[in-house]
């Protein structure tokens, strides 16, 4: 009786919840961005990133978690924020810019890193090979060879006899090539260029001082890639606003911050691809087996409020090509 009674008494215990193994913890993705977390640009980026994750079957809060860190425009904070995420031992570390990629790479050779918005990934040492990146790093490289197209779009907004100033970061591996291509396009358009170089604040101040000294000889400004400027687009937009010139930027973040016009790789495509790669890695893929991708979708964004403030009429052909207008 006791044996039978004991067996009957124990039978329900075998199915009790407290005897079950606890569910495994959800994988955590670290997400490192230099731009402010409350910006319109970031909202677009994050939505696209989540879309890419969903393509691989991952939904934040259901089967994965995301730890966000934003430097709010201060790139000096990136190493510390990257360390926060590395110390959490995240499953994947997503970073957006070359500055963020360098901060992450300096801290780990084991946590997979997926970058986006990197220009010239080999020349700037994000990876050693695009087809077969190094063991823990891959991503999406925006090669930024769009200077000629930007100049053509800007050309119709500038008086025919005026110069166009060209400003970019001479420390980037792509600087000489981009400048050469832009100069060749200027020659084809019979347009004179005023070449300016700068990346740090004081260098940018000097560059805009040269535009001021040139006065009416300069009728427009074409801004090429500048390391660190993406993290705080308002700084560059503010400098440009002191000069009533039509200004073409290389990234829509500047137009969202009040700049006139930008042409570059589409945010949605870049961050969707980054999210897709992060999801593939969560499913077991190795970063070194995922080739660095190049986006093939580009966007022309125009701020009509800024155009009105400048008293500028955007050429109909440019408006017709716009992917998005603001205002």
Above 80 in pLDDT, residue 18? Answer: no
Domain residue extents for the chain: 28-143+267-297, 147-265+299-326
Reported as type and span, the H/E element at residue 318 is helix 316-321
Instruction: Categorize the per-residue pLDDT at 1 as very low, low, confident or very high, splitting at 50, 70 and 90.
Output: very low
Output the pLDDT for position 191: 96
**Residue found by looking up tokens 């040492």 in the block:** 125
> What is the side-by-side strand order in the sheet with 218-223?
193-197, 163-168, 218-223, 247-249, 261-265, 298-303, 324-326
* Three-class secondary structure of residue 293 per DSSP: strand
Q: 98 is written with which tokens?
A: 């070359």
**Structural contact between residues 50 and 31, judged by C-beta atoms closer than 8 angstroms:** no
**Structural contact between residues 141 and 119, judged by C-beta atoms closer than 8 angstroms:** yes
Percent of the chain exceeding pLDDT 90 equals 63
Considering Cα of 131, then 136, then 139, then 144, what sign does the dihedral take?
negative
CATH match for 147-265+299-326 among 3.40.50.2300, 3.40.50.300, 3.30.230.70, 3.20.20.390: 3.40.50.2300
The pTM is what? 0.80
Per-residue pLDDT reduced to its tens digit, 114-170: 998 656 666 666 677 777 887 799 999 876 678 999 999 999 999 999 999 999 999
Output the pLDDT for position 7: 41
Per-residue pLDDT reduced to its tens digit, 92-106: 999 988 888 889 999
Domains 28-143+267-297 and 147-265+299-326 share a fold: yes
**Is the CATH number of domain 28-143+267-297 3.40.50.2300?**
yes
Other beta carbons within 10 Å of 97: 25
Nearest CA among 146, 152, 176 for reference residue 164: 152
* Three-class secondary structure of residue 141 per DSSP: strand
> What average pLDDT is seen over the chain?
88
Per-residue pLDDT reduced to its tens digit, 53-75: 999 999 999 999 999 999 988 88
Output the pLDDT for position 198: 93
**Structural contact between residues 164 and 158, judged by C-beta atoms closer than 8 angstroms:** yes
């Amino acid at each position: 009786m006791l044996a039978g009674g004991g067996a009957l008494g124990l039978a329900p215990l075998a199915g009790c919840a407290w005897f079950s193994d606890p569910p495994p913890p959800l994988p955590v993705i670290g997400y490192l961005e230099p731009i402010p977390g409350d910006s319109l640009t970031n909202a677009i980026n994050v939505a696209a990133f989540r879309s890419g994750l969903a393509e691989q079957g991952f939904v934040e809060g259901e089967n994965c978690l995301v730890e966000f860190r934003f430097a709010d425009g201060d790139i000096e904070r990136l190493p510390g924020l990257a360390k926060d995420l590395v110390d959490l031992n995240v499953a994947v570390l997503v970073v957006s810019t070359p500055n963020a990629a360098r901060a992450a790479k300096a801290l780990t050779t084991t946590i997979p890193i997926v970058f986006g918005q990197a220009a010239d990934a080999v020349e700037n040492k994000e990876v050693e090979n695009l087809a077969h990146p190094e063991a823990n790093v891959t991503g999406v490289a925006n090669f930024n060879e769009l200077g000629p197209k930007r100049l053509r779009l800007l050309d119709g907004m500038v008086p025919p006899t005026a110069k166009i100033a060209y400003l970019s970061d001479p420390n980037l591996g792509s600087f000489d090539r981009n400048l050469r291509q832009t100069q060749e396009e200027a020659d084809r358009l019979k347009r004179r260029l005023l070449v300016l170089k700068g990346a740090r604040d004081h260098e940018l101040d000097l560059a805009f001082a040269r535009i001021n000294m040139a006065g009416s000889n300069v009728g427009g400004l074409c801004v090429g890639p500048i390391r660190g400027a993406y993290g705080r687009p308002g700084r560059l937009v503010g400098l440009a606003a002191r000069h009533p010139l039509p200004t073409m930027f290389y990234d829509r973040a500047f137009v969202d911050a009040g700049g006139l016009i930008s042409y570059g790789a589409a945010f949605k495509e870049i961050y969707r691809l980054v999210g897709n790669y992060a999801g593939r890695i969560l499913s077991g893929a190795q970063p070194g087996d995922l080739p660095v991708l190049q986006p093939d979708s580009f966007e022309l964004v125009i701020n009509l409020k800024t155009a009105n403030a400048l008293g500028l009429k955007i050429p109909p052909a440019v408006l017709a090509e716009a992917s998005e207008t603001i205002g």
